[in-house]
Structure 1
Amino acid sequence: MRTIADDIAAHAARHPQRVALSTPDGDVTYARLAARIEEIVRLLRGHGAGPETVCAVALEHGTDAVAAMAAVLRCGAAFLTLDVGQPRDRLVSFLRSADAALLLTCSALPPARDLGVPTVLLDEPEPTDGPPPGPVDPHALAYVSHTSGSTGEPSAVLIEHHALDTYLRDTARACGLGTGTVALQTAPLGYDASIRDTFVPLLAGARLVIVARSRLLRPQEFADTVREYGVTALLSVTPSFLSHLAGRPDLADPLAGVTLVASSGESLRPFLAAGGRAVVPGRLLNQYGPTECTMTTTRHSVPAPADPSADLVGTPRAGTVVRVLDADLAPVPDGTVGEVYIGGAGVARGYGGCPARTAACFVPDPLGPPGTRLYRTGDLGWWGTGGLHYAGRTDRQIKIRGYRVDPAEIEGALLAHPGVTGAVVTAHTDERGRTYLLAHVTGELAGTTDAELRTHLARSLPPHLMPRRFLRLDALPLTRGGKADRRSLTAGRTP
């Protein structure tokens, strides 16, 4: 089957001098990128890389990281990208759970070389030249991505070549990318969103902009980067980051010139409820899907102005199946909340080295042909106008005095306050065993009392959704993937 490396080579043959990458070290043409991919392919083949070989990529994001990932796919092997800023013990656990056979890195990252896996230095290659790769097996392993750990210990998710290739091509079409697109890499390596960020623009023959991660984390520098490079597409931004931008009134049009913003990773509803749609001048795409189903399963183009009354995540992409089921795996009526199950093209092989967890989470499809499977997402949803509506997590639902509470509803109401720039609501238990809500908020709130915040919330929320306390923070903690770090807030760890 065809891989992204073949598409890059085709772009290089047609337009060799077109810029593929803009990096801190300068621009890289499609011809140069294709040549570098082939160099690494030969090196990998010399080290025996082939089907089911997991090759870890421990590099700062740049030309070699992109080329290494593409080269691994061209060999019919699988890559595991590592965020080199993570602690060593965590990286070792990722390598072990993914059963990595090779580690691709460079001499400038000595800590990455001491991880207990045979190392290949891409900047000091050995004189190794293997045979050319054969055809790629669609059902061979393509990449390993670890779950975020928000609901437990990270597990190695195994995605096959056919699932990745189908997803990349479908996303390029759905996003309308072309040779004139300039996309900004926002997701860090080590997260599956970075695969979308990296390969979808290159599949379309577009230009991918890669800058130092520090420039992406500060709103002013982010806006400056968008303007400097003429960025037109953002494929992997979180609602938390969009809310951060929207909460900076000193930034005039931070997304000026951007015609597509694709959001994922969290509920978009709080951002929309706070009027954030106005910050996005072009198309806003709400993407929904877990790591276990190749990143994205449903999409919804959010209109302007948006309706914040529900979190609409839209319709399934081609080749996927979404079912909303009850506890007996029977479909629930439209408009009724049930658990979301996903089947079809994107479903992972399972969890590496965890057959029991795989069996519990990947179940036979009671409504599909024999042998088909569904992934049990742990998400709640319902079918309504426009497609699937997200209704929260089974593990985030809170019971307050018998009422079921979705924290996203409260967060959206808080963000509608003119002084609030960030909000996360968590559940805690007092000394008498009673569950209560704690609101963690950021913004210019020195002159705003808790009573005033409650008055604001009371305009749209019933009493059982009222937080008992409001904790003011300078900034909300974020995971390295850009999501609000709810686990640290629940545990009482704040920045």
Structure 2
Amino acid sequence: MPVAGHVLRHAAEGPSRVALRGPDGSLTYGELAGRVQGGARQLRGRGELAAIALHDPVELLIAVLAADLAGVTPLVGDPAWSPERWARVAGAAGADLRIDEPLASAPGAPLVPEPRPGDRAWACFTSGSTGRPRAVARTRASWTRSFPHLTELTGIGPADVVLVPGPLVSSLYAFAAVHTLAVGATAVVPGGRPTAASLRAATAIHLVPHRLPEVLEQAPRLRTAVVGGALLSGQARDLAGRAGVRVMSYYGATELSFVAFDPDGGGLRAFPEVEIEVRAEPGRALGEVWARSPWLADGYLGGARGPLRRDGGGWMTVGDLAEPYRAGQVLRVRGRGDGAIQTGGATVVPEDVEAVLRNVPGVGDIVVIGSPHPSLGSVVTAVVEGASPPPRALLEAVARSGLDVAQRPRRWYAVPVLPRTGSGKPARGLVADRLAGGDPELRRLV
């Protein structure tokens, strides 16, 4: 069933229940169903791939659901892009329809969903940390049939108020919003930083790890946190436990969807219906994570090139690295292969260094990259986020106690706010570019 079909069913069963709360008010399921039907009638027959560039998250979701009902694939992008960039990236993806104004309600008879499992039901842009957007397409089956698994693992149901505090251009937050509507709960989509009122009302939330500690202090009704996008520290999980909040963290990628999950801090295990292999070259301690599951994406639109690779057996990888793995064991992901730092003959995985240094008091978040060096190739460089970063002496003391010699940063910088991807993860490639370009905001710690 398409997500629009779920919304129509919830509207028939409980039209007065609140479906969406956005920056400018709320819509009940009955009101949402009416807007979706009217928008779908406007879109039907006008194209096959609709590029959606709407600032208001409620209007964006209405357009997505209307496209879904009309048999049009929604392609969600960043409304802040310039018209020129939109034309370039949407054209490269093959979009034949552009939605940059809220949909009007066209009159006519109600449309009836006509879904097929192989339909392309969703597409969004991903750029990882490089800033180069590629459009990833997903079939209906890969997009919606994992909903029951997520529902069971998180316990999110119709009585919940689910806060989605990030941009819907990110697949992490977009999936959260449509899953919420599919189960009949209330999705709160603030379109930016959540208000105090939305935090107080939330019983569940989807977010990236660095946002969890601050949310715990402001959300008294919160009982479930779904955390993705990066490794969750044990310290953050302990904070949530003391606040009575159940945490379900997961590992995946836009191209792979869910790969592994950790419901209790015991480590990542294969998500339901997912097979995992870690393929290492001879003599290498780490290997690439390959997954085979019903949740894998179709691929990139318009023949775009990216990290996604596939073999003849239905397996896919985006190049993430992990320790050796056997089915049923804990998956220990160590980061993206193209981010590894070669320094003096040693290979350093940035995420390993970041995991240790995030525990230093005063570190809001941190990015570790390689900086060019004439004899070592690269040196490990740490960029600390925060208005008042801890002193370098403390950072180095923690590095000495928790990291091997090759892993310890040789250069330290501080920046008030790290650049981030659409999902809220630190944009490693942009940090490296800013450092190489001599950005004055990056202050050397001495």
CA apart distance, 1:358: 8.3
Q: How does 1:367-378 map to 2 (within 5 A)?
A: 373-378=314-319
Aligned to 2:351: 408
Whether 1:487 aligns to 2:429 is: yes
- In 1: Cα distance, 2:6 partner to 2:110 partner: 21
CA apart distance, 1:132: 4.0
| Residues 314, 35 of structure 1: alpha-carbon distance in 2 compared, 3 angstrom cutoff | same
More deviation in 456-465 or 14-23? 456-465
Aligned to 2:416: 474
Aligned to 2:64: 69
| Residues 434, 24 of structure 1: alpha-carbon distance in 2 compared, 3 angstrom cutoff | closer
Q: How does 1:311-390 map to 2 (within 5 A)?
A: 312-318=267-273, 320-327=274-281, 337-354=286-303, 357=305, 361-365=309-313, 373-381=314-322, 382-383=324-325, 386-390=329-333
CA apart distance, 1:360: 7.5
CA apart distance, 1:167: 2.4
Aligned to 1:25: 24
Query: Are the equivalent residues in 2 in contact too, given 1:78–1:141 (CA < 8 A)?
Result: yes
Say which SS state the counterpart of residue 395 (structure 1) adopts: helix
1:232 aligned to which of 186, 203, 207 = 203
Which deviations, in whole Å up to 9, do the C-alpha atoms of 1:27-78 show, x marking residues without a partner? 2111111111111121122x445xxx11122212343322221121122321
CA apart distance, 1:97: 2.3
Q: How does 1:258-277 map to 2 (within 5 A)?
A: 258-268=222-232, 271-272=233-234, 275-277=235-237
CA apart distance, 1:326: 3.1
Identity of counterpart residues, as a percentage? 26
Aligned to 1:369: none
Q: How does 1:50-69 map to 2 (within 5 A)?
A: 53-69=48-64
Which deviations, in whole Å up to 9, do the C-alpha atoms of 1:394-422 show, x marking residues without a partner? 11222333322122222222222223232
Which deviations, in whole Å up to 9, do the C-alpha atoms of 1:308-361 show, x marking residues without a partner? xxxx3322223x322222349xxx9xx963211112211222222228x48981
User: TM-score normalized by structure 2?
Assistant: 0.88
CA apart distance, 1:151: 5.3
Aligned to 1:184: 163
| Residues 458, 183 of structure 1: alpha-carbon distance in 2 compared, 3 angstrom cutoff | same
Aligned residues: 432
| Residues 327, 399 of structure 1: alpha-carbon distance in 2 compared, 3 angstrom cutoff | same
Query: Are the equivalent residues in 2 in contact too, given 1:172–1:203 (CA < 8 A)?
Result: no
Aligned residue type for 2:260: T
- In 2: Cα distance, 1:397 partner to 1:43 partner: 48
- In 2: Cα distance, 1:403 partner to 1:461 partner: 13
User: TM-score normalized by structure 1?
Assistant: 0.79
Say which SS state the counterpart of residue 399 (structure 2) adopts: helix
- In 2: Cα distance, 1:231 partner to 1:481 partner: 20
CA apart distance, 1:178: 1.0
Aligned residue type for 2:199: V
Gap runs ≥5 in structure 1: 107-120, 247-251, 366-372
Aligned to 1:118: none
Q: How does 1:370-449 map to 2 (within 5 A)?
A: 373-381=314-322, 382-383=324-325, 386-432=329-375, 434-443=377-386, 449=391
Which deviations, in whole Å up to 9, do the C-alpha atoms of 1:432-473 show, x marking residues without a partner? 454211111234757x54334222321222222221122122
- In 1: Cα distance, 2:21 partner to 2:185 partner: 11
- In 2: Cα distance, 1:25 partner to 1:152 partner: 30
| Residues 38, 449 of structure 1: alpha-carbon distance in 2 compared, 3 angstrom cutoff | closer
Aligned to 1:122: 103
RMSD (Å) for aligned C-alpha atoms? 2.8
Aligned to 2:133: 154
CA apart distance, 1:427: 0.8
Query: Are the equivalent residues in 2 in contact too, given 1:184–1:234 (CA < 8 A)?
Result: yes
Aligned residue type for 1:324: V
Which deviations, in whole Å up to 9, do the C-alpha atoms of 1:245-276 show, x marking residues without a partner? 38xxxxx82343211111112233xx33xx22
- In 1: Cα distance, 2:417 partner to 2:126 partner: 25
Say which SS state the counterpart of residue 459 (structure 1) adopts: helix
